[in-house]
Amino acid sequence: MHLPKPLYEAKPYLYLLTGILVAITWGFSPFSVIGSASFIIGGLFIIYLRFVYRKNARAQAEAAGANTTTATADASGKAPEDQSS
């Protein structure tokens, strides 16, 4: 099952918001500190993982785009550097 894109993109921020709200509303009991820290750390970790994945995917796409711009033959069958006539 796939989530709609807006909900998928908002999840880590919802985790952060939940962790902050739990910390504020439930005080400093051991369970609220552990729960809020878990939500906050989980949200930050997901944001970090998405950032790294998208950065690597963008770099690979740019590298693949650079490889496709190499010299290609035109209709006469000559490569661009061979067209001295």
The number of folded domains in the chain is 1
Residue 18 domain flag: yes
Chain position carrying tokens 């550097």: 81
- How much is the pTM? 0.69
Confidence at residue 13, expressed as pLDDT on a 0 to 100 scale: 97
Confidence at residue 8, expressed as pLDDT on a 0 to 100 scale: 93
Q: Could you list the residue range(s) of the whole structural domain that residue 30 is in?
A: 5-64
Instruction: Give the model confidence (pLDDT) of 18-47 as tens digits.
Output: 999 999 999 888 999 999 999 999 999 999
- Residue-wise over 65-85: b if at least 16 C-beta within 10 A, else e? eeeeeeeeeeeeeeeeeeeee
Better-scored residue on pLDDT, 3 or 1:
3
Instruction: Give the model confidence (pLDDT) of 48-69 as tens digits.
Output: 999 999 999 999 999 988 776 5
Backbone φ and ψ for 10, nearest 5 degrees, come out as -85, -15
User: Is the distance from CB of 47 to CB of 54 less than 8 angstroms?
Assistant: no
Residue 34 domain flag: yes
Residue 55 domain flag: yes
